[in-house]
Amino acid sequence: MASPKFAQRVLDIDISGIRKMFEAAGSDAVNLGLGQPDFDTSEHIKQAAIEAINDGFTAYTYGAGIQELRQAISSKFKRENSFDVAPEEVIVTSGASEALEIAIASLVGPGDEVMIANPGFVSYNALVELMGGKVSSLPLGDDLTIRPEDVVERITPKTKALIVNSPANPTGAVQSKSDMKAFAEIADDQGIALISDEVYEHFIYEGEHISPARYSDNVVTVNAVSKTYSMTGWRLGYVAARSEYTEQMIKVHQYVQACANSIAQKAALAAIEGPMDSVFAMRDEFKARRDMLVDGLNSIGLNCASPKGAFYAFPEVPEGSKSGEIAGKLISNGVIVVPGTAFGDLGDGYIRLSYASSMENLKNALDIMKKVL
């Protein structure tokens, strides 16, 4: 039988290194690989979903999402992020993953360039390449943030967008207010889009979260209820931008997804309009874990700066070692970590550990790492 002829753009990308590590390990391993909060979704959010099911709210919704949720997201941006966006300029998506896909699909064509942090979140590169675009890598500074001067240096006539993720995956770095303002000014001066991935906005331990949409209309803001409210499996995200952007994104959204899950939309409404106690409790617990884990990593000889946000530590591996080799050793001894190279070639020399895992698991992992390394 003749083999099917698969699309080259798909053949050219690989399965996420995070997923590979997760699926290669035994079930009894300490999993510091996947980035999702280890807390349950709050009761009032679950109850909203149960009520939606009992009320028969199980059909398609309006493509961009139910009006009351888009209104709540619009109010959230004004209240928490200090910028105005109309409900009509919000699209509710199936997670931040779909929000990123429709943003990149609407902006990037064959040969177009997108500037992305290296190391940076795994989806960005793959999505750009799927659209036929090219990735322009941005090396990180000593504090693991993107430097505005590096962005200016790398802009070409083919540059269509810059992706900024703060707090960042995999590094936990937080961009400063002056950086965010500079990125917004660059976007305006150069006529490019700034895609701001803000899914970790509420997990900041030093510094502050700044949305660049405060400073420019050329910003596409991507967010989700996934991390903030411990709702990763609900698959509910959103994207906001000026109408000239959303008019293009909604075209892609309607063919990819039609609409986000109706029940999850009602749950997200309860989350965004509800109390933040559980979010702040998670943040405090993550900070305590961060402090313990960073101290532990440094004490066993893995140089690790204290991440300012998110829930990832990004320590350097011992001198002369490779990320993949160290990650492989740890996985074979029962601790799942992700090699820095999963996030870009400049991630070699680092591993990523998620501290969205219990204090007991983190202590067990440190004991194993001490023996192995």
Looking at the structure, do residues 152 and 140 belong to the same domain, yes or no?
Answer: yes
Residue 366 has pLDDT above 90, yes or no: yes
**pLDDT bracket for residue 14 (50, 70, 90):** confident
pLDDT score recorded for residue 307: 98
pLDDT digits (tens, 9 = 90+) for 295-322: 999 999 999 999 999 999 999 999 989 9
pLDDT score recorded for residue 22: 60
Name the β-bridge partners of 313.
353
pLDDT score recorded for residue 17: 60
Mean pLDDT of 175-200: 98
pLDDT digits (tens, 9 = 90+) for 115-172: 999 999 999 999 999 999 999 999 999 999 999 999 999 999 999 999 999 999 999 9
Looking at the structure, do residues 262 and 293 belong to the same domain, yes or no?
Answer: no
Looking at the structure, do residues 98 and 185 belong to the same domain, yes or no?
Answer: yes
Residue-range definition of the domain harbouring residue 343: 8-35+277-372
Number of domains in the chain: 2
**pLDDT bracket for residue 5 (50, 70, 90):** confident
pTM, two decimals, is 0.95
Looking at the structure, do residues 104 and 207 belong to the same domain, yes or no?
Answer: yes
Q: 223: helix, coil or strand?
A: strand
**Contact (CB, 8 A) for 234 and 226:** yes
CATH code of 89's domain: 3.40.640.10
Residue 343 has pLDDT above 80, yes or no: yes
Looking at the structure, do residues 15 and 47 belong to the same domain, yes or no?
Answer: no
pLDDT score recorded for residue 28: 80
52 lies in some domain: yes
Percent of the chain having pLDDT more than 70? 97
What is the pLDDT of the chain when averaged over all its residues?
A: 95
Q: 160: helix, coil or strand?
A: strand
Looking at the structure, do residues 250 and 306 belong to the same domain, yes or no?
Answer: no
pLDDT digits (tens, 9 = 90+) for 264-302: 999 999 999 999 999 999 999 999 999 999 999 999 999
pLDDT score recorded for residue 308: 98
pLDDT score recorded for residue 19: 63
Mean pLDDT of 25-38: 85
Phi, psi (degrees; rounded to nearest 5) at 320: 90, -5
Looking at the structure, do residues 339 and 236 belong to the same domain, yes or no?
Answer: no
1 lies in some domain: no
CA-to-CA separations, 308 to 66, 185, 283, in angstroms, rounded: 35, 24, 12
pLDDT score recorded for residue 142: 94
Annotate 78-137 with DSSP letters as a single string: IIII-----GGGEEEESHHHHHHHHHHHHH--TT-EEEEEES--HHHHHHHHHTT-EEEE
3 lies in some domain: no
CB atoms within 10 A of CB 191: 9
pLDDT digits (tens, 9 = 90+) for 61-96: 999 999 999 999 999 999 999 999 999 999 999 999
Nearest-angstrom CA–CA distance, 371 and 373 = 6
Percent of the chain having pLDDT more than 90? 91
Looking at the structure, do residues 58 and 197 belong to the same domain, yes or no?
Answer: yes
Burial tier of 149 (Cβ tally within 10 Å: 0-12, 13-18, 19+): exposed
* Residue reference for tokens 């080799």: 325
Residue 186 has pLDDT above 70, yes or no: yes
Q: Which residue, 273, 305, 320, sits at the end of a domain?
A: 273
pLDDT score recorded for residue 23: 64
Helix ranges (DSSP H) in the chain: 8-11, 17-24, 43-54, 67-76, 95-107, 122-130, 148-154, 177-190, 243-256, 262-273, 277-299, 323-332, 359-372
CATH code of 350's domain: 3.90.1150.10
